[in-house]
């Protein structure tokens, strides 16, 4: 069992967003992304990985396969295996995203998700 205080991972940078890893176990990773207003994460994919994102604080806009989705504190987004993801803090306050990456263990199972 491990316990962490997420507060210690909420570090913000003036130049660009920050990424702080909370847990890395096997093929799963949990980390925080911290954004000042206007900062953004460029579009990218996580092939073979399920991505679960919780907005802990603030508000911003996800772009998932070209569709914009606004998410505020206590809202969550799921991005599946091949979807393209980008994010921008479009609000006026700092944003912290809690991100879980879970690798799909076998391609045979990916078809059922």
pLDDT of residue 84: 96
pLDDT band at residue 107 under the 50/70/90 scheme:
low
Is 32 a member of any domain? yes
pLDDT of residue 88: 98
**pLDDT score of 56 more than 60:** yes
- 111 secondary structure, DSSP code: T
Give the whole-angstrom CA distance, residue 80 versus residue 93: 28
The model's pTM: 0.90
Of 73-77, 83-87, 109-113, the range with the lowest mean pLDDT is 109-113
The token pair that represents 91 in the structure block: 């609000």
CATH number of 55's domain: 2.60.120.10
pLDDT of residue 81: 85
Q: What is the residue range of 84's domain?
A: 18-104
Q: Which residues contact 11 (CB under 8 A, 6 or more apart)?
A: 18, 20, 34
Average pLDDT for 103-112: 60
Average pLDDT for 37-53: 95
Total number of domains in the chain? 1
Is 112 a member of any domain? no
Is 83 a member of any domain? yes
What is the overall mean pLDDT for the chain? 92
Give the whole-angstrom CA distance, residue 108 versus residue 69: 30
pLDDT of residue 103: 87
């Amino acid at each position: 069992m491990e316990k962490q205080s997420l507060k210690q991972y909420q570090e913000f940078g003036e130049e660009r967003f920050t990424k702080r890893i909370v847990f890395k176990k096997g093929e799963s990773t949990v980390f925080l992304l911290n954004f000042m207003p206007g900062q953004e994460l460029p579009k990218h994919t996580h092939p073979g990985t399920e991505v679960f994102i919780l907005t802990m604080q603030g508000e911003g806009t996800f772009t998932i396969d070209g569709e914009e989705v606004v998410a505020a504190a206590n809202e969550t987004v799921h991005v599946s295996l091949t979807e393209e993801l980008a994010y921008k803090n479009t609000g006026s306050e700092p944003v912290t995203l809690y991100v879980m990456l879970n690798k799909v263990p076998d391609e045979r199972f990916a078809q059922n998700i």
